[in-house]
Homo-oligomer: A and B are copies of this chain.
């Protein structure tokens, strides 16, 4: 196990009705709130009204930044920063999924920053003071509710970059599984694929001695496999929604990666895809994952696929090792198919015309991938297999 510094300070209020703590929790930190949210689903399902009612009752002033896009744009962040400065906002409340939360985090870091806020995305070491952030989660997917990361897109430069800072971790997040009852089937599927991808990025590492972390990673994968389909078939199944929601937070808050060498790759490649084509993040991840698995399977990585197959997919451990590995990959692909996730880039009308530039972007800071290092040509090869 590698050395690590563990810090997960975000408080979680989990369960039906936990929104009742909202006023009390905000008041620990601030009195003027910027409410950040997305396309309006929270208006349709009543969460928006509940939040405003509580804030009014608690005499907390509210400004709003709505219409945050699914792949949140730096322009939304700039707008949020402006609103905060003009209104002396001292608390940011994101209501939504990862996009609203990511946007809120960078706004919170940008308010006191003197340069253009895109610089904080490019180089998070420039982050200094960050306004306190709270979140109300409405989609189990990115895990942004419990970590310090954010992914922001810049349409002008065709960049979608991840950034992160300890100070950007939310003070609290409210996780009410019933708030995900109205998530459409395709978004539930993409969210489940996103959670699984966060696990894959750290599970497929060559740090062999982090036994405990790897068993916990498998716990989260098994949770996604058990409940992904249930939640799609019966959107109001509390048990399924609850398990997926908690899995989304634990998959990426550090619990699985502390103590391991990691170097994410699938997210890097997907960010290029959605920077160019604005596709759903989880769908992009799922499409690349199976070709990636096939590409990196070799004598050196075989043991990890065997672990994955036996422990997660319950494949007979007495089978020949390559057979186990291939079965595990096949079962992964079949699972995505059962969730009705498109399984090729063609289905999203993506051709190979930008693969060269995408691959360059994906490795702009060096090779990616941990258990098998990927260079530009590797990325192109994986993208071609994903067509």
Q: Which of B8, B212, B222 contacts A243 (CB 8 A)?
A: B212
Q: Which residues of B contact A177 (CB under 8 A)?
A: 1
User: Is there an interface contact between A209 and B242, defined as CB atoms closer than 8 Å?
Assistant: yes
User: Is there an interface contact between B259 and A246, defined as CB atoms closer than 8 Å?
Assistant: yes
Residues 1-57 (chain A) with a chain B CB within 8 angstroms:
1-9, 11-18
Task: Report if A247 contacts B (CB, 8 A).
Answer: yes
Task: Assess A13 versus B18: contact at CB under 8 Å? Given A212-B219, A223-B211, A242-B209.
Answer: no
User: Is there an interface contact between B14 and A3, defined as CB atoms closer than 8 Å?
Assistant: yes
A 336-360 binary contact with B (CB < 8 Å = 1; else 0): 0000000000000000000000000
Q: Which of B13, B250, B259 contacts A5 (CB 8 A)?
A: B13
Task: Report if A258 contacts B (CB, 8 A).
Answer: yes
Task: Report if A126 contacts B (CB, 8 A).
Answer: no
Q: Which of B12, B13, B212 contacts A250 (CB 8 A)?
A: B212
User: Is there an interface contact between A215 and B222, defined as CB atoms closer than 8 Å?
Assistant: yes
Q: Which residues of B contact A243 (CB under 8 A)?
A: 1, 209-212
Q: Which of B215, B246, B247 contacts A219 (CB 8 A)?
A: B215
Please name the residue on chain B nearest to A17 by beta carbon: B3
In angstroms, how far is the closest chain B Cβ from the Cβ of A213?
8
User: Is there an interface contact between B215 and A218, defined as CB atoms closer than 8 Å?
Assistant: yes
User: Is there an interface contact between A242 and B8, defined as CB atoms closer than 8 Å?
Assistant: no
Task: Report if A216 contacts B (CB, 8 A).
Answer: yes
Task: Report if A239 contacts B (CB, 8 A).
Answer: yes
Separation of A9 and B226 alpha carbons in the complex (Å): 30
A 274-298 binary contact with B (CB < 8 Å = 1; else 0): 0000000000000000000000000
Task: Assess A14 versus B7: contact at CB under 8 Å? Given A211-B227, A212-B246, A243-B211.
Answer: no
Separation of A4 and B16 alpha carbons in the complex (Å): 10
Separation of A369 and B234 alpha carbons in the complex (Å): 34
Separation of A6 and B8 alpha carbons in the complex (Å): 11
User: Is there an interface contact between B212 and A247, defined as CB atoms closer than 8 Å?
Assistant: yes
In angstroms, how far is the closest chain B Cβ from the Cβ of A272?
32
A 172-216 binary contact with B (CB < 8 Å = 1; else 0): 000001000000000000000000000000000000011110011
Separation of A9 and B243 alpha carbons in the complex (Å): 23
Q: Which of B211, B242, B259 contacts A226 (CB 8 A)?
A: B211
> Mind listing 28 A-B residue pairs with CB under 8 Å?
A1-B14, A1-B177, A1-B238, A1-B246, A3-B16, A3-B17, A4-B12, A4-B15, A5-B11, A5-B13, A5-B14, A6-B12, A6-B14, A9-B9, A14-B258, A14-B259, A209-B238, A209-B242, A210-B243, A211-B222, A211-B223, A211-B239, A212-B220, A212-B223, A212-B243, A215-B220, A216-B216, A219-B219
